[in-house]
Amino acid sequence: MTVLGGEDRLSAQKVWRELEEQVGDVGLTCSWDWTDVWLEHFGDLVGHDFVVVREGSVPRAVMLLTRGVGRTRHRVPVRTLHLGTAGEPKQDAIYVEYNRMLVAPAMRRAAAAAVLSVVHEDDSWDELRLDGFAPEDAAPFLAVETSLQPRFEPCPTVDLRSADQRNGDVLAILTSNTRYQVRRSIRAFDAVEGHWAETIDDAFDIFGELVELHQRRWKDAGRPGVFASERFLEFHRSLVSRLFSKGAICLYRARSPLGTIGCLYSFIERGNVFSYQLGLARFGDNKMKPGFVTHALCMQESYERGLSDYNFLADASPWKRELATAERQLVWAVASRPRLKIRLADALGVTSRLARRSGPDANVQG
């Protein structure tokens, strides 16, 4: 086993590429393309190392370890250690989902144990965090490190393969109420058409409009929007440049005679669409549901392109559940060292919860 410092990125890249050749079907967020782009935009802010697990002289797994910036627990500053591309300042955070370790399948448990042995030798952290891990990739870490406390978050999903039983009509597998809202919206828009970006110029054109629409909506709501962060914005521009030609990025736009209805930005991994960000136009008529229409069109085209799942990722908002037909899960987990600041933070958390329960409206029944 070898630990490479952040300054030894070229050595890490060589190992990473060798492992990608071994493993073959590599998850998006544990690919070197994703990791390298993340390091380009956050590596100067977030301290990091690379853990390489070997079998003899052959590398069998590699994991990025990162040190969180500006993290707190119930307002108490804590030093966090993260597995994978995480730990950015909150105003810049990409909130990685379907996080994974790059590892030969037969080595999952052994590699997790090796990475955790390096983690335990590092005395600099107060909290160890797994962020947005796929359940099967979190499982070896949870089995080896029993102090990790997992939280499972639902990801509303459309099982596109179900449309096989409905003559390929994705809308037909949704609930009757959702179908009604989509069809009523399409009538209100008069006519709609969707466009899946096929060239890098198309992709950046849609991405630019998505950012504009997204920011306008959040500004109108008095909030900054995720693309207010220049680092976040430039990370995704670089990601589109690196990954679009490899078929790992979907940029999609729906239009009507009234103009653009909405734009979607998604990742594609192993036949799955991960719906990441959107930008929607605003219309005065409540019968117009730009989000429902844009997603419905994109889901249909995703099915026609042979994709199997349309995943809305974590944060099971009501509108996501209305569009979904199934549910997947992601895992967040935390292990804490028994330190005074952790006990203080937890005590403050208990005090805060008790204060909320006993507030002036606590016994008022509506």
Encode pLDDT of 306-352 as tens digits: 999 999 999 889 999 999 999 999 999 999 998 888 888 788 777 77
Residues 247 and 279 in one domain: yes
CA pair distance 84, 101, nearest whole angstrom:
7
For residue 39, the domain's CATH number is 3.40.630.30
- Residue 37, phi then psi, degrees to nearest 5: -65, -40
Residue 6 half-sphere exposure toward CB, CA atoms < 13 A: 14
Decide if 131 is inside a domain. Answer: yes
Decide if 160 is inside a domain. Answer: no
CA distances from 8 to 32, 207, 282 (A): 14, 33, 48
Decide if 166 is inside a domain. Answer: no
Decide if 362 is inside a domain. Answer: no
CA pair distance 131, 85, nearest whole angstrom:
9
Say which amino acid occupies 203: A
Q: Which residues of the chain have pLDDT under 70?
A: 353-366
At residue 1, the pLDDT reads 82
Residues 47 and 100 in one domain: yes
**160-194 pLDDT, tens per residue?**
999 999 999 999 999 999 999 999 999 999 889 99
CA pair distance 252, 45, nearest whole angstrom:
32
Residues 12 and 146 in one domain: yes
Extract the runs of DSSP E, i.e. beta strands, from 144-230. 149-159, 193-196
Residues 227 and 200 in one domain: yes
Neighbours of 1 (CB within 10 A): 13
Residues 342 and 295 in one domain: no
3-state secondary structure 122-149: CCCCCEEEEEEECHHHHHHHHHHCCCCE
Residues 315 and 334 in one domain: no
At residue 362, the pLDDT reads 42
At residue 348, the pLDDT reads 77
At residue 364, the pLDDT reads 38
Residues 88 and 108 in one domain: yes
Question: What end-to-end distance do the CA atoms of the chain give, in Å?
Answer: 60
* Residue range(s) defining the domain that contains residue 248: 175-324
Decide if 206 is inside a domain. Answer: yes
Rg from Cα positions in the chain: 22
Residues 198 and 108 in one domain: no
Decide if 294 is inside a domain. Answer: yes
Residues 132 and 183 in one domain: no
pTM above 0.75, yes or no: yes
Residues 84 and 208 in one domain: no
At residue 357, the pLDDT reads 65
Domain count, the chain: 2
